[in-house]
Structure 1
Amino acid sequence: MPSAGAVDTIELQRIVEVEDDNWWYLERRAILARELCRAAAAGAGAPGRAGIPGRAVDIGAAGGGNTRVLKDHGWRAIAIDNSPTAVDLCLAQGINACHGDACFLPLPSGELDLALALNVLEHVEDDRAAAAEMARVLRPGGAALVAVPCDMALWSAYDVALGRVRRYSRRALTDLLEEAGLVVDALWGWNVLLRPLVRLLRHRSPHCEDLAHLHPLLNEALHLVTVMERYLPLKSRPGVTLFARARRPGASAS
């Protein structure tokens, strides 16, 4: 990620410490895994289409948890982050990684099948440049999966502490991706059930930390809530996070 709002070394270390067990990271990786399976199933029998495991980039990879999911699903993935610490953490796990800025990706144009930007764009001052770079590196028909914090009504000291520049409405995220030349195929809210609690806690206390080491029972309870949400018709409702699935036009969508 770019230096504006980049995750610092201490925060990166905290992410690595908690992401294998923390409820939020567990479910975000599960969403990514489901999206990869969905895309692969839709592209079955059509070599070269987005969704068939090919080349992927994880932009703002931090500790590399999402890059590992890509690798586990057969993708040839590279992690990119502007933090040398993040790059070193990825390399130490056997992840192909390099230093780079979301607004100036060190990648050729039009060669990737998939780009991830999960909780990255909100840290970037020039998010239009970052979205355009994501579109640039995708081949025609290539897919992008984006996650951003939802709704400025939830803005609090927590966002400031994490170095965020903004939160997004559905319209704002759609416009951003479309202006970059991408076609938005799906847009949905996540952590809808927990939104009222999150809003209450973050507005009440500037020290609310989602990444803190939680009591195992609380961590499991929060994870169960997010699992339950998978089966409820809530994706059109506002949540804490907003996901978008998009593609570069020029070939059939997977």
Structure 2
Amino acid sequence: MDTIEIQRIVEVEHDNWWYRERRGILARELRRAGLPGLAVDIGAAGGGNTRVLREHGWRAVAVDCSETAVNLCLERGIDAHRGDACFLPLPSGEYDLAVALNVLEHVEDDRAAAGEIARVLRPGGSALVAVPCDMRLWSAHDVALGRVRRYSRSALTGLLEEAGLFVEQVWSWNVLIRPLVRWRRHRAPHCEDMARLHPFTNETLRLVTALERHLPVKSWPGVTLFARASRL
């Protein structure tokens, strides 16, 4: 992720519907996780998710390969380290939780990155992973964001299990807006997701995504896959 994109994320993530709702998912997962402990946010960018971890009582460290991202985290008072997802600068078996939201799709050797998630977790520790799903949604948007792939459920499950993690649940997110996303990205190859949305559009998308929480659609095809797993 380049410097410009990281700076754009920091500028829009507080109000943007996608980042707000993703933070909401993280918060709900933290509430169900029980007592907080030591956590690592892999691919932390400006540290938005790291701050959610800290707000819920976790002792959280951010890791990102970008010097800009690390500096932004440090400016926000977040403990941050520069490191590659395939070679985390962290000790083995010490973390209670590893969070990697929209990271693995950017990594050529995603097996190595998944292995690092498992390595830093203590036995019984948890991982929360999010990736874009379904190569049928592949577009210039993915290329612009530097993605290498999108994932199927079986591919994500297999990747995590191969790393030595027990996959507890895999679910879809942004199911209701999938048709719109597919139409828009194939119709407008240079669509800009980091641009500030009109407040009406932003709020409408937030409400649609919020509605999705209450519907039995997590097994349907969506735009993103989440997985919760634990180290054996």
TM-score (norm 2): 0.99
| Alignment partner, residue 123 of structure 1 | 106
Q: For 2:214, which of 212, 215, 231 is the aligned residue?
A: 231
SS in 1 for 2:149: coil
**Is 1:208 matched up with 2:191?**
yes
**4+ aligned runs moved over 3 Å, structure 1:** none
Per-residue deviation, residues 36-89 of structure 1 (Å, max 9, x unmatched) = 00111xxxxxxxxxxx21100000000100000000000000000010000000
Q: For 1:82, which of 31, 49, 65 is the aligned residue?
A: 65
Q: CA RMSD in A?
A: 0.5
Instruction: Quote the Cα distance in structure 2 between the aligned partners of 1:8 and 1:15.
Output: 11
Instruction: Quote the Cα distance in structure 2 between the aligned partners of 1:14 and 1:35.
Output: 26
Q: Aligned-pair distance for 1:210? A: 2.0
SS in 2 for 1:148: strand
**Is 1:39 matched up with 2:33?**
yes
| Alignment partner, residue 133 of structure 2 | 150
> Between Structure 1 and Structure 2, how many residues are aligned?
232
Instruction: Quote the Cα distance in structure 2 between the aligned partners of 1:9 and 1:64.
Output: 14
TM-score (norm 1): 0.91
Q: Which letter does structure 2 place at the counterpart of 1:18?
A: V
| Alignment partner, residue 10 of structure 2 | 16
Instruction: Quote the Cα distance in structure 2 between the aligned partners of 1:243 and 1:182.
Output: 15
Instruction: Quote the Cα distance in structure 2 between the aligned partners of 1:212 and 1:174.
Output: 32
**Is 1:58 matched up with 2:52?**
no
What does 1:84-233 correspond to in 2, within 5 Å? 84-233=67-216
Instruction: Quote the Cα distance in structure 2 between the aligned partners of 1:79 and 1:178.
Output: 24
| Alignment partner, residue 26 of structure 1 | 20
* Gapped regions of structure 1 (runs ≥ 5): 1-6, 41-51, 250-254
Q: Which letter does structure 1 place at the counterpart of 2:14?
A: D
Instruction: Quote the Cα distance in structure 1 between the aligned partners of 2:110 and 2:172.
Output: 20
Instruction: Quote the Cα distance in structure 2 between the aligned partners of 1:159 and 1:107.
Output: 29
Identity of aligned residues (%): 78
Q: Which letter does structure 2 place at the counterpart of 1:11?
A: E
* Gapped regions of structure 2 (runs ≥ 5): none
